[in-house]
């Protein structure tokens, strides 16, 4: 299984049209089921006209992933010197980049078996890790979703670790390297941002 295909599968597990459930494991399971069913409507048309597909993905991601929180963390120490406008602009660019990058790979998803592992005493916590396994033909790919409860009591995905690769840290390192390359110019980092890992 290619890295791109694996990323596509992982993103597919992040997306759902459901209202956030009170239990994060149920949310991940519902998201998976919903997406795998709903994605079929775009499989034949997304290559020719991807924009409706991207809109579909973005609408679902906005309700499930805390993009603003993730983007601030990806900016690392640079978020302190960035303006409110720069932080908002980066969150928008970051969100759209993920949607487009992973959205293009979702069509590669086939019939892998996906299993949400049972919770391990997470009741009452404000932050939990939901573990999932993707059973490919030759290998099992572990996925860990870091989820936090926001002020409204909703569970949101705040990070994903895929096969031991922490996407939050990977993107933060990418932002730091880009900022160093551009002499600390956050606007240049945002203008040249790519979510390809």
Each residue's pLDDT tens digit, 112-141: 778 888 887 666 678 899 998 888 778 888
* Residues 48-65, mean pLDDT to the nearest whole number: 82
Q: What is the pLDDT of residue 20?
A: 38
Could you give the C-alpha distances from 160 to 44, 45, 65, in angstroms and in order?
Answer: 28, 29, 10
| Domains of the chain: residue spans and CATH | 3-191 (3.10.450.710)
Element (H, E) at 144: strand 140-149
CB-based burial label for 159 (10 Å; 0-12, 13-18, 19+): buried
Q: What is the pLDDT of residue 106?
A: 60
Over residues 136-191, the pLDDT tens digits come to: 778 888 889 999 998 888 899 999 888 888 989 999 999 999 999 999 999 999 99
Tokens of residue 157, six digits: 């995905």
Please give the distance of CA 87 from its chain centroid, rounded to a whole number.
Answer: 18
Banded pLDDT at 56 (limits 50, 70, 90): confident
* Residues 50-64, mean pLDDT to the nearest whole number: 81
Banded pLDDT at 18 (limits 50, 70, 90): very low
- Distance CA(99)–CA(132), nearest Å, equals 21
């Amino acid at each position: 299984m290619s890295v791109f295909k694996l990323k596509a599968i992982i993103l597919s597990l992040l997306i759902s049209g459901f209202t956030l459930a009170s239990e994060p494991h149920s949310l991940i399971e519902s998201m998976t089921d919903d997406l795998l069913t709903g994605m079929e409507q775009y499989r034949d048309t997304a290559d020719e006209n991807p924009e409706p597909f991207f809109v579909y993905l973005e609408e679902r991601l906005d309700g499930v992933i805390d993009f603003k929180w993730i983007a601030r963390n990806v900016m690392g120490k640079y978020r302190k010197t960035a303006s409110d406008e720069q932080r908002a602009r980066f969150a928008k660019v970051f969100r759209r980049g993920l949607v487009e990058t992973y959205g293009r790979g979702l069509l590669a998803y086939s019939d892998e078996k996906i299993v949400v592992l049972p919770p391990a005493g997470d009741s009452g916590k404000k932050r939990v890790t939901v573990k999932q396994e993707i059973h490919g033909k030759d290998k099992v790919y572990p996925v860990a979703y870091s989820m936090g409860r926001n002020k409204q009591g909703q569970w949101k995905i705040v990070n994903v670790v895929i096969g031991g690769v922490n996407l939050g840290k990977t993107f933060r390192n990418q932002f730091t390297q880009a900022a160093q390359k551009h002499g600390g110019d956050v606007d240049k980092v945002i203008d040249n941002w790519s979510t390809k890992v």
